[in-house]
């Protein structure tokens, strides 16, 4: 018998809900294939950062990886649309986009870049957390140095809201916050919890400015080497893991918010409309873009 | 020829290192003094370090100054020693050829072909990785040149 | 297949090292050969090329070239001499005083920069000319520098502890930082003691060694007793009385110094002049520490600020001209480059080891040997010591934390405690041949060979391993401070 093992690497630690979602997928695939097609998961960035893992997929030494849609921007520009602030009205709206036609189009539109999207995983909403200054309106961001990912759209977004975007590598962020090199950062609740930044940052303002999902992708070289049946199992296992991951995610958000509150973090629920109005100009600029403009209008047309 | 190549690499290395220092100082200055944090310095620093590291490695390889446990070489004399030095140079050259030149060139080619750009500077990543095959070629050149000009008095 | 990978890796690596292939290339070649066992040639070569390049794409790594450059400028610019003169006034009267200065400076500098490599290169390159001038054995000095540089990894802030926290998925970084103080200081003092013993034995024989080491221990015990006494005063008497006692102690100290100065006018004058001379240079430490603590810049950025400050000072002292600068930079790039090539090929090797699950398989097999807590901790320590011989710290922490942490927490170990054990343990590996970034940096700045530095290194390793065992089996050493502060 020929037993195939696919290697999956990602940057999250094994307690993360997205990791658990992928474990479920691996388990389903093993069941469907009767153990003939299995996945080995390498967590914690053992095989490289997200950007590097995508490159390894293209090179052909790694089969599958999970990356943030923000990282996909450098490989397939269309993914930029998912990083735009307040592009999704609600969680349901985002799910309808990921599960629907647009989601499928984005996932399969990467084949010319030698990668193929399998599914979207929920990575929640990103919000601002600061050391001691609560963000209740966009004006509160004025003059604050906010750490952002190395991504142009993330920098544009923080700038549009009035903050000073400061790219700092993730590994250096904890000490940068502790010593006050930056005044705050932005991320989803589970990341605030697992990064321990809540030990330093005591104000978390759930303005929910972006909803950048995670994407599970497979090397086209590996995909084409699978039989039709194996491809079907693979896709089904990925699809089945999506609702499971969403459940894990929701639980993790609740748990994370509870724990950081117990550690003395104050949670704020600012009026999101104030923030959304501030970035309207930025969105309008992107609507004039040939590729992105059309996508934005189509996303807006999707129902909640 | 050898001296010319050395001189060019020296100038490039000093220039890259100087830009690297200025880049990081600018990062502090723009954030702390200007209160307008620079968006590109962090990424540029990483790319410059790749260049300094690999190009510098080729330069150091040319000077035969990479750390080695050379107990065996010290014990040998004459033709035997010469032969071993050529074998070592060939092994290093083969690594440079296979990994740095062939692997590196394929890496550069695919980055350009697939149009991958960096996140902050939107710089084509092919240019960043270009230093891998370039350094590989230099290491091969130095291994050959060093093998041809071994001093066999000792 | 996995078994074959291990054989290819070990055999090719040892063979290449023995015939004298440069270490960085030995690592690279055995890594790529291991890759070829399971990956097709073109993807293997491309992956290795990618790992080498991206391995250097790290902001934190920048501290290495910058502190080397700052150190070289300071050497050329007359700053080092002023610093060392001052340090000599402080501890020069001890036998092995300059070695003490080296250890102390590494504890301070490594603590600030969070990078042992940066510390070894900065402090090492500043100290070495002076140590040589004073007639210290080069290999001995290099050994002191290499081992004491590791103290900065446990004394906070420490990047490697942050890496551990991420890999463990839920250990408080603040608690880890607090836990690192005592083990780091303990290691530093241990190395000082061993340096004193080795130095005294060489120059004064066994009797002198016993005398000097007893003196050293007496001073330490004295300091500890006074510190504990001062700490306990608060709980023994009323707040007002405590303030009075502290005030009295301060007055006594000031009066004592005044008395000393009046008795030794020449000495006091010289000490003051040396201090004033060294002040601008000492300001470098203040600017670096102060800048990081006050949040002007990160630890990595501080290294670039150090370059700038050293440059300004060197020009003010008129001991460096623009014409000298390219040469100083090129020399720094050369020192940096071979370290960076090692990092690059190490990253490639670590990748294929992780990919082939080599570390997991090896440790699983070894752990099947026992279920006794002490034995397992010993086995884990031995495995990590062995791993440290061949692997660099960050990949080792990333790969082994998820494997070992569940085992030790089942045995009732605190994850904070285990983090410190891991860092102390892998710290030893940073100095052991054949693969150790500190070993390479230390040998390079001291201009000695790995073969000859091993002999003075061995007793230093013995001290580090004793501290490691103490910290492993006496959890209070690391946990007392974080527990006292509520973690
Ligand atoms: Na430190
Ligand atoms: Na080692």
DSSP C198: H
Name A232's Cβ contacts closer than 8 Å, sequence gap at least 6.
Answer: none
Mean residue pLDDT across chain C: 83
ipTM: 0.92
Considering the domain architecture, whether residues C174 and C37 belong to the same structural domain is answered as no
Q: Which domain holds residue C8?
A: 1-57
- Distance, in Å, from the CA atom of C200 to the CA atom of C340, rounded to the nearest integer, reads 37
Considering the domain architecture, whether residues C266 and C144 belong to the same structural domain is answered as yes
Q: Where are the beta strands (DSSP E) in chain A?
A: 4-9, 37-42, 64-68, 115-121, 126-130, 145-148, 164-167, 184-187, 203-210, 214-219, 266-268
Of residues A62 and A196, more confidently modeled = A62
Considering the domain architecture, whether residues C42 and C135 belong to the same structural domain is answered as no
- Using the beta-carbon criterion (under 8 Å), do A155 and B39 form an inter-chain contact? yes
Considering the domain architecture, whether residues C2 and C108 belong to the same structural domain is answered as no
**Helix or strand holding residue C327 (H, E):** helix C325-355
Q: Where does a domain end: C34, C57, C80?
A: C57
Q: Which of A14-18, C320-324, C416-420, C483-487 has the largest mean confidence? A: C416-420
pLDDT at A130: 96
Residue A198 scores a pLDDT above 90: yes
List the subunits that have 3+ CB pairs under 8 angstroms with B.
A, C
Q: What is the pLDDT of residues B33-81, one digit of tens each?
A: 887 888 889 899 999 999 999 999 999 999 887 767 777 888 888 888 8
Residue C13 scores a pLDDT above 90: no
Residue C209 scores a pLDDT above 80: yes
- Using the beta-carbon criterion (under 8 Å), do B28 and C297 form an inter-chain contact? yes
Residue B67 CA, chain-centre distance (Å), reads: 16
How confident is the model over C103-120, as a mean pLDDT? 74
Considering the domain architecture, whether residues C445 and C330 belong to the same structural domain is answered as yes
Q: What is the pLDDT of residues C72-94, one digit of tens each?
A: 787 666 665 676 677 677 766 77
Residues in chain C: 487
Q: First vs last Cα of chain B: how many Å apart?
A: 26
Mean residue pLDDT across chain A: 92
Considering the domain architecture, whether residues C147 and C163 belong to the same structural domain is answered as yes
Q: Where does a domain end: C41, C57, C73?
A: C57
A-proximal residues of B, 47-106, CB under 8 Å: none
Residue A137 scores a pLDDT above 90: yes
Residues in chain B with CB shorter than 8 Å from the CB of C451 are: 69, 71
Q: What is the DSSP string of chain B?
A: -HHHHHHHHHHHHHHHHHHHHHHHHHHHHHHHTSS---SSHHHHHHHHHHHHHHHHHHHHHHTT-S----HHHHH--HHHHHHHHHHHHHHHHHHIIIIIIIIHHHHHHHHHHTT-B-TTT--BHHHHHTHHHHHHHHHHHHHHHHHHT-----
* Phi and psi angles of residue A65, each rounded to the nearest 5 degrees, phi first: -150, 165
Phi-psi region of C39 (alpha: psi -120 to 50; beta: other; left: phi over 0): beta
What sign for the dihedral angle of Cα C159, C161, C165, C168?
Answer: positive
Residue B152 scores a pLDDT above 60: no
Please say whether the beta carbons of C31 and C391 come within 8 A.
no
Considering the domain architecture, whether residues C131 and C152 belong to the same structural domain is answered as yes
Mean residue pLDDT across chain B: 90
Q: What is the pLDDT of residues C333-355, one digit of tens each?
A: 988 887 788 878 888 888 898 89
Q: Please identify which residue in the block is written with the tokens 């609600």.
A: A90
pLDDT at C253: 79
- Using the beta-carbon criterion (under 8 Å), do A152 and B120 form an inter-chain contact? yes
Q: Where does a domain end: C42, C57, C72?
A: C57
Considering the domain architecture, whether residues C15 and C162 belong to the same structural domain is answered as no
Considering the domain architecture, whether residues C73 and C93 belong to the same structural domain is answered as yes
- Distance, in Å, from the CA atom of C113 to the CA atom of A174, rounded to the nearest integer, reads 15
- Using the beta-carbon criterion (under 8 Å), do A7 and C355 form an inter-chain contact? yes
Q: For C318-336, b where at least 16 C-beta lie within 10 A, e where not — what string? A: ebbeeeebbebbbbbbbbb
Nearest to A120 by CA among A81, A169, A74, A153: A81
Q: Which of B35, B42, B110 sits opposite A150 (nearest CB)?
A: B42
| Band of pLDDT at residue C410, cut at 50, 70 and 90 | confident
pLDDT at A195: 85
Q: What is the pLDDT of residues C48-67, one digit of tens each?
A: 999 999 988 877 678 778 87
- Distance, in Å, from the CA atom of C196 to the CA atom of C209, rounded to the nearest integer, reads 8
Asked if B122 is an interface residue toward chain A (Cβ–Cβ < 8 A), one would say yes
Residues in chain A with CB shorter than 8 Å from the CB of B42 are: 150, 167-169
Angle between helix axes C97-113 and C138-148 (nearest 10 degrees) is 30
* Cα-based torsion angle of the residue sequence A166, A167, A172, A175 in order, rounded to the nearest 10 degrees: 10
Residue C262 scores a pLDDT above 50: yes
Residue B154 scores a pLDDT above 50: no
Q: How many domains are contained in chain C?
A: 2
Among B119, B121, B128, pick the best mutation site for testing chain A contact (most A Cβ within 10 A): B119
Considering the domain architecture, whether residues C81 and C228 belong to the same structural domain is answered as yes
* Cα-based torsion angle of the residue sequence C428, C430, C434, C435 in order, rounded to the nearest 10 degrees: 140
- Percentage of chain A with pLDDT > 70? 99
pLDDT at C289: 63
Among B69, B111, B125, B150, pick the best mutation site for testing chain C contact (most C Cβ within 10 A): B69
- Distance, in Å, from the CA atom of A130 to the CA atom of A204, rounded to the nearest integer, reads 7
Considering the domain architecture, whether residues C235 and C342 belong to the same structural domain is answered as yes
Q: What is the DSSP string of C409-423?
A: HHTT--HHHHHHHHH
Please say whether the beta carbons of B77 and B154 come within 8 A.
yes
pTM, two decimals, is 0.82
Query: What residues does A217 pair with on adjacent strands?
Result: A65, A117
Residue B121 scores a pLDDT above 90: no
DSSP A267: E
Q: Please identify which residue in the block is written with the tokens 């079907």.
A: A232
- In three-state secondary structure terms, A166 is strand
pLDDT at C78: 63
- Using the beta-carbon criterion (under 8 Å), do C20 and B45 form an inter-chain contact? no
Q: What is the pLDDT of residues B125-142, one digit of tens each?
A: 999 999 999 999 999 999
From the CA of C101, how many Å to the nearest CA of chain B?
28
Distances (CA, A) of A173 to A68, A149, A201, A205, C296: 19, 11, 12, 19, 14
Considering the domain architecture, whether residues C170 and C142 belong to the same structural domain is answered as yes
- Distance, in Å, from the CA atom of A161 to the CA atom of C5, rounded to the nearest integer, reads 53
* Phi and psi angles of residue C486, each rounded to the nearest 5 degrees, phi first: 90, 20
């Amino acid at each position: 018998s020929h037993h195939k093992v696919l290697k999956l690497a990602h940057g999250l630690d094994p307690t993360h809900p997205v990791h658990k979602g992928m474990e479920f997928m691996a388990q389903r695939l093993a069941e469907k294939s009767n153990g003939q097609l299995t996945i080995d998961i390498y967590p914690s960035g053992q095989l490289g950062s997200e950007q590097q893992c995508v490159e390894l997929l293209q090179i052909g030494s790694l089969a599958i990886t999970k990356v943030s849609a923000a990282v996909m921007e450098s490989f397939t520009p269309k993914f930029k649309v998912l990083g735009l602030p307040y592009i999704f009205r609600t969680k349901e709206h985002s799910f309808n986009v990921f599960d629907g036609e647009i989601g499928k189009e984005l996932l399969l539109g990467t084949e010319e870049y030698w990668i193929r999207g399998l599914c979207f995983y929920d990575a929640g909403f990103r919000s601002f957390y600061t050391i001691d200054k609560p963000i209740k309106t966009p004006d509160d961001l004025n003059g604050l140095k906010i750490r952002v990912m190395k991504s142009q759209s993330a920098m544009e977004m923080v700038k549009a809201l009035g903050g000073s975007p400061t790219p700092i590598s993730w590994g250096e962020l904890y000490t940068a916050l502790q010593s006050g090199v930056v005044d705050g950062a932005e991320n989803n609740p589970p990341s605030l919890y697992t990064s321990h930044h809540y030990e330093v940052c005591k104000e978390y303002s759930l303005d929910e400015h972006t909803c950048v999902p995670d994407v599970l992708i497979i090397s086209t070289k590996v995909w084409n080497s699978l039989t039709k049946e194996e491809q079907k199992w693979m896709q089904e296992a990925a699809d089945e893991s999506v609702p499971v991951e969403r459940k894990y995610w929701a639980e993790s958000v609740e748990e994370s918010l509870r724990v950081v509150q117990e550690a003395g973090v104050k949670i704020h629920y600012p009026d999101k409309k104030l923030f959304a109005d501030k970035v309207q100009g930025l969105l309008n600029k992107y609507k004039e873009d040939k590729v992105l403009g059309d996508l934005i209008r189509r996303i807006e047309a999707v129902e909640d | 020829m050898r001296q010319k190549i050395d001189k060019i690499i020296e100038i490039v290395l000093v220039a890259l290192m100087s830009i690297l220092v200025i880049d990081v100082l600018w990062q502090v200055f723009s954030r702390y003094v200007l209160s307008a944090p620079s968006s590109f310095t962090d990424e540029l620093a990483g790319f410059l370090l790749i260049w300094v590291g690999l190009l510098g490695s080729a330069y150091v390889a040319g000077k035969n100054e990479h750390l080695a446990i050379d107990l065996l070489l010290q014990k040998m004399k004459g033709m035997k020693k010469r032969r071993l030095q050529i074998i070592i140079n060939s092994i290093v050259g083969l690594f440079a050829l296979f990994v740095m030149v062939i692997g590196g060139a394929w890496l550069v080619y695919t980055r350009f072909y697939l149009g991958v750009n960096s996140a902050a500077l939107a710089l084509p990543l092919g240019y960043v990785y270009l230093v891998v095959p370039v350094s590989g070629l230099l290491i091969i050149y130095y291994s050959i040149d060093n093998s041809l000009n071994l001093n066999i008095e000792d | 297949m996995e078994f074959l990978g291990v054989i290819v890796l070990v055999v090719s690596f040892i063979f290449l090292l023995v015939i004298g292939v440069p270490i960085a290339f030995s690592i690279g070649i055995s890594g790529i050969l291991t890759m070829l066992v399971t990956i097709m040639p073109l993807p293997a070569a491309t992956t290795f090329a990618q790992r080498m390049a991206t391995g250097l794409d790290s902001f934190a790594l920048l501290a290495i070239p910058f502190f080397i450059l700052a150190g070289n400028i300071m050497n050329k610019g007359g700053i080092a001499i002023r610093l060392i003169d001052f340090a000599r006034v402080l501890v020069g009267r001890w036998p092995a005083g300059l070695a003490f200065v080296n250890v102390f400076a590494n504890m301070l500098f490594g603590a600030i920069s969070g990078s042992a490599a940066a510390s070894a290169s900065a402090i090492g390159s500043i100290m070495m000319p002076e140590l040589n001038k004073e007639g210290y054995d080069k290999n001995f000095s290099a050994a002191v520098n290499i081992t004491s540089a590791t103290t900065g990894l446990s004394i906070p802030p420490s990047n490697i502890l942050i890496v551990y926290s991420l890999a463990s998925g839920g250990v408080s970084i603040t608690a880890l930082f607090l836990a690192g103080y005592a083990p780091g200081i303990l290691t530093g003092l241990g190395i000082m003691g061993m340096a004193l013993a080795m130095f005294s034995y060489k120059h004064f024989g066994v009797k002198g060694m016993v005398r000097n080491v007893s003196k050293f221990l007496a001073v330490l015990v004295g300091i500890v007793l006074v510190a504990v006494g001062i700490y306990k005063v608060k709980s023994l008497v009323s707040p007002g009385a405590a303030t009075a006692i502290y005030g009295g102690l301060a007055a006594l100290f000031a009066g004592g110094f005044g008395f000393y100065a009046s008795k030794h006018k020449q000495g006091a004058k010289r000490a003051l002049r040396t201090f004033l001379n060294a002040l601008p240079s000492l300001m470098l430490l203040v600017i670096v520490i102060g800048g990081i603590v006050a949040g002007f810049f990160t630890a990595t950025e501080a290294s670039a600020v150090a370059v700038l400050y050293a440059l300004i000072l060197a020009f003010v002292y008129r001991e460096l001209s623009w014409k000298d600068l390219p040469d100083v930079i090129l020399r720094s790039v050369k020192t940096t480059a071979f370290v960076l090539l090692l990092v690059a090929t190490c990253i490639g090797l670590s990748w294929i080891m992780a990919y082939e699950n080599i570390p997991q398989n090896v440790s699983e097999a070894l752990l099947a040997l026992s279920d006794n807590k002490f034995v397992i901790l010993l086995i884990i320590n031995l495995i990590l010591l062995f791993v440290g011989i061949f692997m660099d710290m960050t990949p080792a922490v990333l790969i082994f934390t998820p494997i070992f942490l569940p085992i030790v927490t089942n045995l009732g170990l605190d994850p904070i405690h285990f983090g410190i054990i891991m860092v102390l343990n892998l710290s030893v590996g940073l100095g052991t041949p054949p693969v150790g970034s500190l070993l390479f940096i230390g040998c390079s700045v001291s201009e000695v060979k790995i073969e000859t530095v091993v002999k003075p290194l061995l007793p230093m390793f013995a001290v580090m391993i004793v501290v490691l065992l103490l910290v492993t089996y006496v959890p209070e050493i690391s946990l007392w401070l974080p527990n006292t502060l509520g973690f």
